[in-house]
Structures are given as structure tokens and as C-alpha cells.
Chain A
Amino acid sequence: MADAKIPRQAIPKQSPKDRVRNFNEVALGYTPELAQLEAQRCIQCKNPFCIEGCPVEIDIPAFIKLIKEGDFDGALAKIRETNLLPGVCGRVCPQEEQCEKVCIMARRFEPVAIGRLERFVADWEIKQNKMDLPEIASPTGHKVAVVGSGPGGLTVAADLAKLGHKVTLFEALHKPGGVLVYGIPEFRLPKAIVARECHILEEIGVDIRTDFVVGRTASVDELFEMEYEAVYLGLGAGLPWFMNIPGENLVGVYSANEYLTRINLMKAYKFPEYDTPIRVGDRVIVVGGGNVAMDSVRSSLRLGAKEAHIIYRRSRKEMPARNEEIENAEEEGVVFNFLVNPVRYIGNEQGRVKQVELLKMELGEPDASGRRRPVPIEGSEYKMDVDTVVVAIGNGANPLVPSSTPGLETNKWGYIVADTETGKTTKKGVWAGGDIVTGAATVILAMGAGRKAARSMHEYLTTGKW
């Protein structure tokens, strides 16, 4: 039986003082003892809500039971039945919004730390220097193209490969992983974990082709000519949004996509050992309140900024970032400026940003998102000196594939129209999911969309019915 007296086990972390000086992972992970202690807290519900709370339906009570019994390999195998990215998901899923939110323990105590346990077994396998591969069905002879190797594409590729289909994963960048590689920083998701989970896909027969931009190198129709029978579009983030205020194109104003890509994919934090530069200066402001904003502001401190600020137009309560990430940022000394919004940036003679003009806001009536709408306070403008600005307010849709694919319908914002249950687009043989359908969301939602699409694609491949 579960022991209600055991508190939810904290995850050991690097101290804030140490970690702001390095890019190493902040959370160090459970020891086997801590994991087994935490696992004892699961009461093994007969009708567990947590499985329903998981977009990829991991059999959570079953894997936790195996941890409790000390069978860590068995626990990992159980997770891999439905999820080939446990090292990633254990780290970056918003469990507090999903499996842990509905955990029965949360009603009287705190929820079981499902994410930390998932991560523990993934890391355990690495420490044992092993790689247990899932079982693969015999080859079906069907060829599938998955476009984009972010979390959604990886999920589709894994699911279809396990079912015996021959999958090629096309990636525009030089490394697979999409946002897991270019977007999420090393200190939150080590790139070795992503590389390993991508490598598992290759081990089960997925062909990963980097440096291949579908929409440019080949169109979707050309993929069909290359005898792919089904195509999944997991294109991810498109053009970064800016606020359309004066001075946004000054030097030193980055989109979060650019800022994070320089740091994470191109390793600009190791310049000049690595060729890609980044310039940060003493004071950085990051505009936005999501996870990407937290990643950007925390990276700034690690790059040597003396002050790193969040500029957010609502209050802390409305911030979309994970609470855990906000707390980490606070511990590290990030300055939060709530209820302010930039109105313009001011540059020097070289065209480099030197000041931001901010306008104070107050909260009004709730808007369409249910959050209280920020309303400007007239005459409240003030200026702040800055060296670097990072705009982290989201992305639009990438136009390359839609504009080169006749028959593929998009909505008025340029996102691809796809069925929410199956991922089917308006073009026969083409599925889509993740940010290119929903706009910016989370890793696990993209994975959930990939899971559903993979089911539908399998059905199409085996029955021929669209």
C-alpha cells in the first residue's frame, strides 16, 4: 500500500549560485533510493486518471509499480510501449497540467512526481550503458515520409517504425530533434539525451535525413514521386512574431528563436571555440511570459549578463510558463517586471539598441483566453537602458510547405488545417500536427498529435482507405 506519510520527494538540483555560471543541467535527477521512495507514494488506483491525463497514454501506475519493486529496466520497457522519448518527456512535459494534475494523491496531499520518475528510469538505462530496443513488427513494405524531427515527428516515426513501416525522417537543420535541439536549452534538456533518443529511432530502422528542407529541397508532391505513400508534416515553429513597434529591427533585438538557436544549436556560448557568435552585454530584457521567455532569460544570465529581466504585460498569475521554470528563474536572480509593455526601442548611431521605452499596464476584463486583458495606463511611459532585447511572444506559421503544396488548405493565420482526431489534412495522404496546426504549444501536445496521426496513417497504409 502507498504510504501517505512519505512526502513528495524533491529533485536534487545544482545550487542557483553555481548553475547561473554554467549550461549544465539544473535538475540532477533522483537517486535509485529517492525514486523508490517516491514510487511508494503511488496508490495504484484501479481506474487511474493519470493515464487519461497523458497525451501519449503511458501506463503510469504499471511503470511506477516496477520502480517500487526495483525493476528499473522493466519500468522503462513499460514506458517504451507507448513513448520512445522518456528522457525528453520526463524533463519537459508540463506534468502539473496533465498526469500529475489528475493524480488522486493531489486531492489530499501532493501528486506523485510522475515526470521525475519517468526521467529517472530513462537516465538509469544510460548509466547502465544499455539500450533496450522495443519490438518491431515485420516489414510491411510501406514507405512513409515524416517531415520535421521535432517531438511530433519523432513520435510518428517511432510509432510507424514499430508497426513495421519504412520511415524516413526529413530534417531541415543539421541535427535531428527540432525544438528539442534548437530551442530548449542544455540546462533544461541535455542535447545528449535528445541525440540518444533520436539514435534509438535509427536503431529501429528509421532513416534520418538532415539538411533536407521539404518545401525547397523537395516538395510534398515530389515525396510522393519518391514513392512515399503517406506524409506527416510536423513543421514546428514558423516566422517569429514581433510586436510591430519602432526599433524592433535594431541590432541587439533578437527573436527568441534566433537567440536560442544561436545558443543551443550553434553553441554560441562556446564562442570562439564554436564559430557562431552571440552578444549579450550587461542588461538583457526578454519580452514575454512563456517557457521560451524563461529559457531565454535564464540563458542570458549564463552568458554573463549582470541583469536579466522579464518584461510581461500581465501579472505573474497569467504567465503561461511552467511554475517550476518561473521558480528556477526567480532563484537564479531574474528580475520580473509585470504589467509593463515595450512601446519602442531606441538605438545608437551604429543602429544598436540602447534603450527601451516601457508603458505600464493594469488588468481589465478577461479576454478570449480567459485571462484578464492588460490595459495601458496613459502617460506612464518610462525608459530603461538595455544592451540586448529578446522578443519571445510566439511564432506564426512557416509558409514553405503550404505554399509549395497544392491542395493543402491553411487557415487565415497560415496554419495547416488538420482533423483534431486523426491529423488528416485536406490533401490525400498527408497528415499534420503540432505547432504548424495549433500554433505554439508544448512538446507533449505535439507528441499527442503525432500519436493520433500515426494511428490514422497506419490504418490508411494497411487498408488504403482515406
Chain B
Amino acid sequence: MFKIVERERVNPVVNKFVIEAPIIAKKREPGQFVVFRLHEKGERIPITIADADPKAGTITVYVQELGKTTFQMGTMQAGDEIADVVGPLGNPTSIEKLSGEMFVIAGGVGAAEVLPIARKHKKIGNKVVAILGFRSKDIVILEDEFRSFCDEVYITTDDGSYGREGFVTTELADHLERGRNIAEILAVGPAIMMKVVSDLTSHYKIKTMVSLNSIMIDATGMCGVCRVEVGGETRYACVHGPEFDGHKVNFDLLLKRLASFKEEEKISLERYQAAVGGEHG
């Protein structure tokens, strides 16, 4: 069992959890994820590690409420225990000294996932520019954290309620247009956002990595549900990824595979919400 030591609702749809997992806390590197199973009847879901404190033996994750499991997790409090937390999984992000600027682009809760990567880039001396996109002002997260170390931070909201109105690509397009010396781009967020970022940057031939959020079960290279097509070849996000060259990823396939169990996910969520009386706060 893995104890939740801290739980905070950071916006109307995202919860932050600090969880006791000493071995993972010591071992994890930016870009890696864990798999959770909340309880005996629970499913296994992958979630990227946002932060870790090796001394305290804890990891931090940000979880957006999307389906039954994440809503149920949102009801858990400090002191509650999660049945299983396994990791760190996936390959760490490759972070090197670059000849130009590092652009990190995040959509929604993806901000939590790029945070440790951005931090490490800064630490080894890269110039880091962050573009963070959210639906609206009330769900903006981690802005202060990014501002505390990034060279530049840009916020976009779909409805224009905060920062610049538009998508991350609205902002990114300007920087590309201005011909900035961008060495590498990392995009993390919903599959559709990673797709449009990759489409945009492919015209400029700038290396663009994306962190794929496939469905996973064991997440150790046994079941094969996380398979994706990269450069026409089947790859497994759990052992070969989760980061791949965005210009080579077949996003249409990824989007379809992510929707594999859409109907079942709806049944599961509705059944859960009926059982808890529609409350999920």
C-alpha cells in the first residue's frame, strides 16, 4: 500500500497528490511515469511523475479528473492508501546541452509533466521557453513554478480569459515565424494538441518530441496495448517511449486507439457517479 501524504485540489479538474513511494522517489528521472491501481477492483492507469523528494521518499503527481478512476482518486485524502504504485516506468527524457533554445509546450495537466524536464534543461544551462495552454483561466496551473526558472513563459487560454487567446500553436507559430534559434521542442498534453504542434513544427524541420499517453496495462512490455506507429513501425510506448519524434508519430491512429473503450469508460463513470450521488469533490 502507498500512503497519500498530501492532497490538494489545484483547480476545478486537477488534483495534486504527494505519495509515499521511497524507491521510486530515489530512482525516477524526468519524463518517467508510474502506474496506479487504486484498489482491488481498480484498473491500472499510467500517470507521469511531476516531482519527487528522495529525502522525504515521496513522489508528486497531478491527476486530471476524466474518468471513473481519476474521479475516484479525487475523493482520496491525505492518509488514504493506494493499493499499487509501480515505477518509475518508461525511458527518462534525453536532456542534453543544446546549441539553441529549448521550447517546452504543455496542454492542461501536461504542464505538470513537463515541469521536471524543463527544470533539468535549465539546470544544465539551456535557455528554456515555456508555452502553457489551458482551456480557461480557472484551470491554469503551475504558472509561478515555471516563471521561477524559465527564461520566458507564455500562457494561452482557449477562451481568452487569461494570457493570450488561442492555442499553444497560436503562440508557438509567432516564435517560429520570427525565426528564433529553437534547438528542440517538447510537447506534452492531449494527443490532439501534440499532433497540431508536430504538424506546425514539421514545416520548420525543428526536432519535436512528444510524450505519448497511450492506454497501458502492465506497462512493462508484456501486453502490447500501448502500441503506436512511429515512422511506419509499431513501437511500444511503455518500453520504447513514452517520448517519440512527433514528426513520425501516427497521431490519427493514436487518437483512435485512445478512444478504444470510450463507451465502456462512460458506463463506468456514470455508474460511479450514480453510486456516489453525483458528488465527486
Contacts and interface: CB of A to CB of B under 8 A. Distances in A.
Given A248-B234, A275-B68, A279-B261, A255 B217 contact: no
A227 interface: no
A327 to B, nearest CB: 29
Nearest to B217: A261
A351 B256 contact: yes
Interface string B55-67: 0000000000000
Nearest to A259: B223
19 contacts: A174-B84, A211-B86, A213-B87, A217-B27, A217-B88, A239-B224, A240-B223, A249-B257, A250-B256, A251-B257, A254-B225, A255-B224, A272-B264, A272-B267, A275-B42, A275-B69, A350-B259, A398-B221, A398-B239
A266 interface: yes
A10 interface: no
Nearest to B261: A277
Nearest to A347: B256
Given A211-B85, A261-B218, A266-B43, A218 B27 contact: yes
B195 interface: no
A212 interface: yes
Nearest to A214: B220
B124 interface: no
B44 A266 contact: yes
A217 B236 contact: no
B142 interface: no
A350 B259 CA distance: 9
A213 B24 CA distance: 11
B89, B263, B264, B265: most-surrounded residue (chain A CB, <10 A): B264
B24, B222, B239, B252: most-surrounded residue (chain A CB, <10 A): B222
Interface string B14-28: 000000000110010
B35 to A, nearest CB: 9
B69, B83, B224: most-surrounded residue (chain A CB, <10 A): B224
B75 interface: no
A257 interface: yes
A279 B234 contact: no
A84 to B, nearest CB: 25
Q: Nearest 10 CB-CB pairs, A to B?
A: A351-B256, A277-B264, A275-B43, A255-B224, A258-B223, A211-B86, A240-B224, A276-B43, A174-B84, A274-B41
A69 to B, nearest CB: 43
A217 B87 contact: yes
Contacts of B37: 174
Contacts of B259: 251, 350-351
A295 to B, nearest CB: 15
B260 interface: yes
A279 B221 CA distance: 22
A240 B226 CA distance: 11
A440 interface: no
B86 A273 contact: no
B264 A271 contact: yes
Contacts of A261: 217-218, 222-223
A333 interface: no
A277 B223 contact: no
Interface string A181-192: 010000000000
A182 B225 CA distance: 14
Interface string B71-100: 000000000000111111100000000000
Nearest to A175: B84
Contacts of B227: 249
Contacts of B88: 216-217
Nearest to B37: A174
B83 A174 contact: yes
Contact of B220 (A251, A252, A274, A398): A398
A216 B84 contact: no
B253 interface: yes
A255 B234 CA distance: 13
Contacts of A270: 41
Contacts of B161: none
